[in-house]
């Protein structure tokens, strides 16, 4: 046996390791993203959500993690492409008659297609919110909250001075004043469009099927497969990442669409 | 009483590994349903020979399901529609009268077609030669049970060692991945005391050879497990991943620079 072996990342197992680790990191992001976005359902004209959006885009440790996240998406997609090309090359002549569903699940065989749908969604999703928030025409809003009573007054962008910029939070005569970009309004605006709502729902369906296979597959790639915990891993993959999270995300566009009617 | 079947075979015919192959439709009449699939092909071949045509070339040897020589993708499934069986153990009673049966060779870049339905599976041999063995000094026969091995470990190793190397896992996998085969071969040694000396070198050497042969990577679809005639489990693939990543990260042999 030779003791010199190829570097880990050049092997098929090493590439799968990359897929597994980036995939699980993206899964962990979904949990945080969902919990944060649940604030969209608060009936406070976006006060909590807009403060949260400012925090998430300006707190340095979160910013570092967000760059790791963007890198993970790119690496996950690039390695998927490399692996898919190699896998296609491993069978240059296909079968005339393919057994398909008789020995494996459809989603496990079509992770690339599901992933592509998710990637297309991500680009439009980033354009809708991330780009608009950072460089676009997201309106401003001012919340004036009387700290003693909790009464809140909302001043929309039309009534604010035209040179109004930046994020401010201060207390003046017992009134808390928050000036912020109104991402909440942008969310409500985007989801008035039924086609965008449909795109989001289709993307969440793709995400569900991607993760029902992907989550447990990531653990298998890392070598975790033992009867003691494999049931838990599969359960989390199906129920949390395959059902609860995609459905919870899909309710957001639906909520704003029906609210706009 | 055995019934007789009349079947239409759609068989892949290819003169040699350079030639371009094609499907040829052959009628197989008066086939007894007690026959094995390979016996059915024997009857068809006798017919072809009598007519002066080239018989269908296919791999077979023991014809009792233990050698791993027979292959064939039958109606889209390696070793045919029955679970946990090789083609030689598949009987014609699994088919019905008038059925069209598509017979194809294993399809993989690493398994080039030699002729008709026979493919070159020496890629598996080269993977085995890369590390699927133990180096021991031979000498006198040791007493039985001098090396204690817990029964559950011995059973697990035996389960892995039942792999007959037929290549159905590669044929079934959408990526033509050899992971189930390699993982079974790595597992049987990784579990037993005799395999410990070269445990991490073995995993690396066999994975390197597997990649070199041009097999695809594992997408964990589970098709290999479903089609394996001897029931090799996906847990073997998880073990191979552990062995390989362990070897790469901890490198038992050369932790010092």
Q: Looking at residues B14-40, what average pLDDT do you find?
A: 96
- Asked if B211 and A11 touch (Cβ cutoff 8 Å), the reply is yes
- pLDDT given at position B145: 84
How many whole angstroms separate alpha carbon A209 and alpha carbon B246? Answer: 31
Q: Same structural domain for residues B17 and B135?
A: no
Going by C-beta distance under 8 Å and a sequence separation of 6 or more, which residues neighbour residue B32? B2, B3, B4, B5, B92
* Alpha carbon of B97: minimum distance to chain A alpha carbons (Å): 20
Helices assigned H by DSSP within chain B = 37-50, 122-131, 151-161, 168-172, 179-190, 199-212, 223-227, 235-250
Q: Is the pLDDT of residue B1 over 80?
A: no
Domain count, chain B: 2
Residues of chain B numbered 35-94 and touching chain A (CB < 8 Å): 73, 75-77
Query: Do B175 and B102 have their domain in common?
Result: no
Looking at the fold, whether B127 and B226 belong to one and the same domain comes out as yes
- Alpha-carbon distance of A39 to A50, in angstroms, equals 9
- Do residue B152 and residue B226 come from a single domain? yes
Closest Cα in chain B, distance from residue A240 (Å)? 20
Which member of A1, A90, A94 has the closest CB to residue B175?
A90
CATH of the domain at B169: 1.10.1060.10
Q: Do B219 and A99 touch (CB under 8 A)?
A: no
Question: Mind telling me how many Å the CA of B129 is from chain A's nearest CA?
Answer: 9
Residue B132 contacts A, CB cutoff 8 Å? no
Q: Which long-range contacts (CB under 8 A, 24 or more apart) does B120-123 make?
A: B120/B17, B121/B165, B121/B167, B123/B178, B123/B213, B123/B214, B123/B215
**From A107, which residue of chain B is nearest by alpha-carbon distance?**
B221
Reported as a pLDDT band with limits 50, 70 and 90, residue B27 is: very high
Residues B100 and B126 in one domain: no
| Nearest CA distance, A34 vs chain B (angstrom) | 28
The CATH number for B37's domain is 3.10.20.30
Q: Determine whether the interchain pair B238/A223 forms a contact, defined as Cβ–Cβ distance below 8 Å.
A: yes
Among B75, B109, B135, the residue with its CB nearest the CB of A90 is B109
Q: Tell me if ipTM is over 0.95.
A: no
B215 and B159 within one domain: yes
Shortest CA distance to A40 belongs to which of A261, A253, A220, A197? A253
State the average pLDDT for chain B: 94
Residues B42 and B108 in one domain: yes
Does B88 lie in the same domain as B135?
no
**B169 and B48 both lie in a single domain:** no
Interface contact B251, partner A, CB < 8 A: no
End-to-end CA distance of chain A: 70
Q: What is the pLDDT of residue A156?
A: 81
Which of A190, A177, A70 is CA-nearest to residue A119? Answer: A70
- Domain shared by B108 and B129, yes or no: no
Give pLDDT, residue A161: 73
Residue B103 sits in the same domain as residue B15: yes
Could you state, in order of their start, the residue ranges of all structural domains in chain A? 8-90+106-136+183-260, 139-181
From B82, B114, B146, give the residue that closes a domain: B114
- d(CA A235, nearest CA chain B) in Å: 17
pLDDT digits (tens, 9 = 90+) for B207-251: 999 999 999 999 999 999 999 999 999 999 999 999 999 998 876
- pLDDT < 50: residue spans in chain A: none
Which of B50, B79, B114 is the last residue in one of the domains?
A: B114
Q: Do B248 and A8 touch (CB under 8 A)?
A: yes
The range of the structural domain enclosing residue B233 comes to 122-254
Last residue of a domain, one of B71, B92, B114: B114
Q: Are residues B126 and B75 in the same domain?
A: no
Q: What is the pLDDT of residues B107-137, one digit of tens each?
A: 999 999 999 999 999 999 999 999 999 998 8
The pLDDT of B68-79, averaged and rounded, is 96
Q: Residues of chain A whose C-beta is under 8 A from some C-beta in B?
A: 1-3, 5-6, 8, 11-17, 83, 86-87, 89-100, 102-105, 108-109, 111, 213, 216-217, 220-226
When scoring B71, B174, B180, B222 by the number of chain A Cβ atoms within 10 A, the one with the most, hence best to mutate, is B174
């Amino acid at each position: 046996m030779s003791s010199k072996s190829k570097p880990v990342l050049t092997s098929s197992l090493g590439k799968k390791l990359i897929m597994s680790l980036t995939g699980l990191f993206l899964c962990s992001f979904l949990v945080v993203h969902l919990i944060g976005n649940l604030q969209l359902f608060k009936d406070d004209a976006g006060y909590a959500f807009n403060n949260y959006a400012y925090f998430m885009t300006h707190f340095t440790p979160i910013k570092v993690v967000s760059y790791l996240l963007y890198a993970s998406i790119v690496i996950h997609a690039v390695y998927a492409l490399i692996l898919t090309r190699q896998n296609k090359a491993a069978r240059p002549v296909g079968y005339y008659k393919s057994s398909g569903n008789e020995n494996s699940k459809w989603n496990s065989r079509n992770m690339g297609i599901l992933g592509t749908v998710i990637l297309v969604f991500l680009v439009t999703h980033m354009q809708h919110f991330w780009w608009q928030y950072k460089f676009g025409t997201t309106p401003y809003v001012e919340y004036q909250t009387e700290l003693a009573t909790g009464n809140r007054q909302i001043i929309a962008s039309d009534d604010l001075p035209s040179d109004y910029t930046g994020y401010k939070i201060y207390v003046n005569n017992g009134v808390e004043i928050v000036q912020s970009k109104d991402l909440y309004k942008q969310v409500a605006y985007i989801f008035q469009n039924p086609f965008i709502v449909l795109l989001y729902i289709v993307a969440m369906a793709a995400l569900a099927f991607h993760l029902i296979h992907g989550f447990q597959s990531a653990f298998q790639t890392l070598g975790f497969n033992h009867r003691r915990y494999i049931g838990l891993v599969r359960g989390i993959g199906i129920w949390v990442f395959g059902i609860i999270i995609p459905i919870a995300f899909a309710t957001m566009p639906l909520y704003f669409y029906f609210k706009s009617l | 009483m055995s019934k007789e079947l009349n079947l239409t075979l759609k068989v892949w015919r290819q003169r040699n590994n350079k030639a371009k192959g094609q499907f040829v439709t052959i009628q197989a009449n008066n086939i007894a349903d007690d026959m094995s699939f390979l016996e059915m092909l024997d009857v068809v071949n006798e017919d072809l020979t009598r007519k002066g045509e080239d018989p269908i070339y296919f791999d077979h040897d023991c014809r009792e399901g233990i050698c791993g020589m027979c292959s064939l993708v039958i109606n889209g499934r390696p070793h045919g529609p029955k679970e946990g069986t090789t083609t030689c153990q598949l009987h014609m009673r699994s088919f019905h009268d008038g059925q069209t049966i598509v017979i194809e060779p294993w399809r993989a870049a690493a398994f080039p077609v030699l002729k008709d339905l026979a493919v070159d599976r020496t890629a598996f041999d080269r993977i085995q030669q890369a590390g699927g063995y133990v180096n021991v000094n031979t000498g006198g026969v040791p007493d039985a049970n001098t090396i204690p091995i817990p029964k559950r470990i011995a059973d697990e190793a035996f389960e892995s060692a039942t792999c007959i190397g037929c290549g159905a896992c590669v044929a079934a996998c959408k990526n033509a991945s050899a992971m189930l085969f390699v993982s079974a071969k790595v597992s049987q040694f990784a579990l037993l005391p005799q395999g410990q000396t070269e445990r991490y070198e073995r995993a690396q050497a066999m994975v390197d050879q597997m990649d070199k042969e041009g097999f695809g990577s594992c997408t964990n679809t589970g098709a290999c497990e479903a089609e394996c005639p001897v029931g090799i489990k996906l847990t073997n693939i998880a073990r191979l991943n552990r062995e390989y990543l362990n070897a790469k990260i901890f490198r038992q042999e050369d932790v010092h620079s």
